[in-house]
Structure 1
Amino acid sequence: MYKSYYSLAYEPFSKGLKVTDSFASHSYQEALSGLDYLKRTKGIGLIIGEPGAGKTFTLRTFKESLNPSLYQVIYFPLSTGGVMDFYRGLAYGLGEEPKFRKVDLFRQIQDGIERLYRERKITPVFILDEMHMAKDAFLQDLAILFNFQMDSTNPFILVLAGLPHLRARLSLNQNRPL
């Protein structure tokens, strides 16, 4: 009823909204520009916003803009698990059967990232959503896991997304390396 009254072709703000149907607000364009910069330079980026602001939609737009021959996207929204759950999830995302011990998983993930990047010329893109709920141990391990060749190279793209208080958590001393 309201769609005909307002001459709408589709339901606004529906979860099935296509990228082409999005409203290109200033903050949306700014977020996409930041993600495009991250795509060119590689490394770690942060998307912060209030609930319903369009963080995940923006990340989906970014994912759809990536050439699947050059990028492999691993989307991981399970931030409430432990560090081992996180490691296993990343290993699965890289197409690996997760090892049992943390040290083996760590090496398996780093080797998987290096193999994709160096041998197959594919940049892994890790999108970690809902990170405002992540435990401190999870955040601390991120800085260690994504340290390559004594922190001299970034053979990946890592995007952390969450609510505004994630920024405050990342500014705490124990999370500053991230």
Structure 2
Amino acid sequence: MYEKFYGFKQKPFRNTPDPRFLFMSRTHEEALARLHYAVEEKEIAVLIGDVGSGKTTLTRALMDSLNEGFRMVLIVNPRLTSLEFLKTLCSRMHCDTKSPYKNDLIDALYERFYDDHKAGITPVVIIDEAHLIPYRETFEEIRLLTNFQMDDTNILSLILVGQPELKKKLESESLGAFRQRIGLFYHIGPIGQDEIKDYIEYRIKAGGRDKPLFSDAAIKALYSYARGIPRVINSIASMALLEGFAKDVEMIDESIVSSASKEIGLNGYRKD
């Protein structure tokens, strides 16, 4: 709708996990570097972040950055029993078994992991929305995957991605053994106030426009309303572009951002 009016080739503030639109803020750059380290060291890594902080986009960027020496396995619906988790993992790993029995599934996984190891391939298992894992037994099954190792090295990497509730779950006494296996833990914070202008300019350029579109006052207001959360920034900016298009204005100012933010406020986001 507004793309042609503002000279975009595609919408610049889409809330989709497209790595091309990932702005590497300080916290996101640090998070991605740590994920790379966890993959290289074949560790269990836990990535925590609030809703809309860019966790899923980061994992997509990680997947895109790895070469053929890594086998990526993504599980996006972890509401699974321990047996369902093993079946899902076997399916994603293309294991040669149709057995419904846990021991057969574990044996098939080990054979697959070992074959990958001999071929110089590292499986990387990413569990998104891991705060939704419902059972301690499922966490235990995930932990036991780290027992698949050689004398001198692990043979797979595990990355759990979730909201802060995941941290609370992992702090429970019943998951103490799992917690001890975690090699890396990182919490993604919001984009800094000194980074918001660069964020807006990056997204605008990614959408295909070279000229500035938001005034400095509009950008400052955007940060105040969104508190540095990328998804909220994108939602407000998209609404502001729609309003700007409707009003036939060439530059988005603070008043348009404020009006757009009131619309977003209906979903629970309000200015401090």
TM-score by length of 2: 0.59
Contact 1:92/1:98 (<8 A) preserved:
no
Contact 1:91 1:98 in 2 (8 A): no
State how 1:6-155 maps to structure 2 within 5 Å.
10-16=10-16, 18-67=18-67, 69-96=68-95, 97-117=97-117, 119-134=118-133, 135-149=135-149, 153-155=153-155
SS at 1:146's partner residue? helix
Deviation at 1:143, TM superposition (A): 1.1
- Count of matched residue pairs: 176
Quick one: structure 1 residues 3 and 168, their matched pair in 2 at CA, closer, same or farther if it must change by over 3 Å?
A: same
What is the identity, as a one-letter code, of the residue corresponding to 2:102?
K
User: What is the distance in 1 between the residues matched to 2:150 and 2:140?
Assistant: 17
Residue 121 of structure 1: SS of its match in structure 2?
Answer: coil
In structure 2, runs of 5+ residues without a counterpart are 179-272
Q: Return the letter of the residue paired with 2:115.
A: R
Q: Secondary structure at the match of 2:177?
A: coil
Deviates more, 1:136-145 or 1:151-160: 151-160
Change (3 A) 1:4 1:176: farther
**Structure whose residues are more often helix by fraction:** 2
- Are the aligned partners of 1:83 and 1:138 in contact in 2 as well (CA < 8 Å)? yes
1:22 deviation in Å? Answer: 2.0
Structure 1 residue 150, shift from structure 2 partner: 8.7
SS in 1 for 2:94: coil
Distance 1:13-1:110 versus aligned 2 partners, 3 A rule: farther
Residue 169 of structure 2: aligned partner: 169
Mapped to 2, the partners of 1:123 and 1:110 lie a distance apart of 13
**3-state SS of the aligned residue for 2:44?**
strand
CA RMSD of aligned residues (A): 2.2
* Contact 1:140/1:174, CA 8 A, preserved across alignment: no
CA distance in 1, matches of 2:24, 2:9: 17
Question: What are the ranges of 5 or more consecutive residues in structure 1 without an aligned counterpart?
Answer: none
Which residue type is aligned with residue 106 of structure 1? I
Deviation at 1:87, TM superposition (A): 0.3
Alpha-carbon distance in structure 1 between the residues aligned to 2:81 and 2:45: 22
**CA 1:144/1:151 → structure 2, altered by over 3 Å: closer, same or farther?**
farther
Percent of residue pairs identical: 29
Residue range with higher mean Cα deviation, 130-139 or 98-107: 98-107
The code of the aligned residue for 2:58 comes to T
The one-letter amino acid of 1:105's match is L
Distance 1:23 1:7 in 2: 21
| 1:161, distance to aligned residue in structure 2 (A) | 0.5
Cα shift at 1:149: 4.6
Residue deviations 1:67-107, cap 9 Å, x none?
A: 0x200100011211211111011101111134221111112
